[in-house]
Chain A
Amino acid sequence: MSDMRALPVGDRALLVELGSGEEAEALHAELLRRRAEGTLPAVQEIVPAARTVLLDGLDDPARFAKWLAGWEIPPLASGARSAIEIPVRYDGPDLAAVAELWGVRPDEVGRIHSSTVFRVAFCGFAPGFGYLTGLAERYAVPRRATPRTAVPAGAVALAGAYTGVYPRSSPGGWQLIGSTRAVLWDHARVPAALLTPGARVRFVPEEL
């Protein structure tokens, strides 16, 4: 990838910046593939994010950066993994506001959202909170001007072009369009997170 940049992060880590979220996801997938194959040097954490992948706990980040520059990174394979289905009711308090931003009727928000195949680009904010990409850029919405002090667990929410599901009750500024009874995070389960980076996701409307 021509516009890949490896940025130094202290003396034990490397932040690899890419031209797009898709390229970051492709690099993340390739890193996981090489790790599974046993050809990746020891690294403590591989953390994908919006445009970057962080490699933390490397013995020699500079050497890794040089090696990485010569990689051929295959584009993301689509449809290789089956999608995780999340049951949802489109009953969020911000449904009308989102419909207005999208220029559609409130009942169309759920139709558009549930006909989209999402991918977990990365996790953050809270354990098990995935940033899901898939909605077209024209459906991007701003965060709420005033964040809520308590968003309930299972709230299905939008911010920018991302969709997220709150794993537990917490403060939050995303626009709430629905709710799910799916358990996003259970530390007694393996894996604890329902949504892990790279997973494909579909929202399936439930009867009200």
Chain B
Amino acid sequence: MSVDPVVEIGFGNERSNTRKLNTGEFLVKWGLISIAVSYLGLVLFFPVLNVVYVAFAKGIEPALEVFKNQDFFSAAQLTLLVAVVSIPLNTVFGLCAAWVIARNRFRGRTLLISIIDLPFSISPVVAGLMIVLLYGKNGWFGPFLEQINLQIVFAIPGVVLASTFVTMPFVAREVIPILEEVGTSEEESARTLGANDWQIFSRITVPNIRWGLLYGVLLTNARAMGEFGAVSVVSGSLAGKTQTLPLFIEEAYKNYQSQEAFTASLILGLLALVTLVLKEILERFGHTSQIKV
């Protein structure tokens, strides 16, 4: 790279990307942009486009064929059920944990933060293994569960449990920084005006953290619906019974039913797209609400 010794320097408030670039800098800029975008193309854009392409390669009608498949429907139902159970559980937990961490100073606070983050670092397969060792037939609670005739592993409760495990930290993670940023002054004013705990929580705290909370819920949903590793350990992948959409996709792909696999992938992929679009929108809202405060 040839460097022009006489560099144009932006004084004052001028920003580097608004000032005029000399030829060398111009080449560097577009060179770097093209390398970065090509890399993303290779790793992200081509594979994502490929999902759409394979799903519709034979036309629209074969693509819609999957909707006649009963296993697909029960997989979609189970996937929704997983989200419906794990979101409220992890939201209640996330709010409580965020309040404990952001509003209290106590010994072991950093340790608690690390513990809450643990499910992100533990391999999903290890998470599934833990559930099997605890609730499986030969697990610690196995005999007891057999007595009360409740099957968790290789049944729907196990699938729900595994998905809840891997999505545990999302809400807490998103809410903690916001709670810390808004501070306690509004909550204290409400208390001096005679509000009780519930009133403070529902009328002051929740409105303040709503965008972060919503984003946390969104991430929980995306991950819960898409979880594969932990679920495949505990589910046994019985078609029509304990199969979620990701497991359905894997089985269809392995059985060379790539049409069904890719249509189902497209549907799950749209979930990812919606998540990203909503994220952009929420960030904008979050930004404006911060300016108001």
The reply to whether chain A is a binding partner of chain B is: no
Interface residues of B (CB under 8 A from A): none
Chain A interface residues (CB < 8 Å from chain B): none
